[in-house]
Amino acid sequence: MFGCNLLTSMVFKVVFFVGVFCFGSVQGEKDSRNASPCFESPLSLEVYNNCLKKFNTVEAKFLQTSESKCTKGKLYLQKPGKLRIIYEINSQGQRKEILCDGTYLTEYVFDSQGELEESSSVNLSETPLQIVLNTQGIDLRYVRVERIVSAKKSRGIYTYIYLVKKEDSTEGKVVLIFKEDKEAGPQFCGWTIYDEHNREIILELTDVNTNVIILPKTFSTSSTL
């Protein structure tokens, strides 16, 4: 089977991080510990929130790392609430996809013949992806900011915003990561999650294109990309 069950992970204790729509590599929570001592970010929450609001669609490649296992694939995102993550075929010939239609987040596993092997769904509101897929950025009506810290690393300065969903502090923890850019301003980088066994899952996006046209069929279960 696949190295990690992303959908199941989101329903449990989830913490967010990474390098998604950013254009540099990030190493999540672990990276913040290994970097230089953290310091308070000089920028306000509004600056980072404006960064999140600048894009409505994203198309990118990604590298997902968990327990030294790496998986590549492609990601499509459209606010509000739509997401498709397509993983490359694994060594057993299986392929996994994660699809969000705006209401439900569903994980599909296909066998080597392309036939559906299994699937499972969860309401989007029960996952931390709801924070990323909304059009309001960091919506303080639903999340609480625990702290904002920055750390200097070899590739530059990164800022970590720790968020907790107000109605569910156990399953709704999120850390958003931004890479600081003096000219362009903060660049949102992506996410890291921790599953029920406290395993770290890092998703880093590359070749990122924002505000591109994504066909509606992309988020259809019958669509093949």
Domains observed in the chain: 6-219 (2.50.20.10)
Q: Residue 20, by phi and psi: left (phi above 0), alpha (psi -120 to 50) or beta?
A: alpha
Q: Which two tokens stand for residue 18?
A: 């990474």
How do the pLDDT tens digits run along the chain, 225 residues long? 444 455 544 443 333 333 333 333 344 445 444 555 677 776 789 999 999 999 999 999 998 888 888 999 999 999 999 999 999 999 999 999 999 999 999 999 999 998 999 999 999 888 777 777 888 888 888 888 988 999 888 888 988 888 887 876 555 677 788 889 989 898 887 777 766 666 777 788 788 889 999 999 999 876 666
Tell me, what's the pLDDT at 130? 79
| pTM, two decimal places | 0.76
Distance CA 2, CA 6 (A): 10
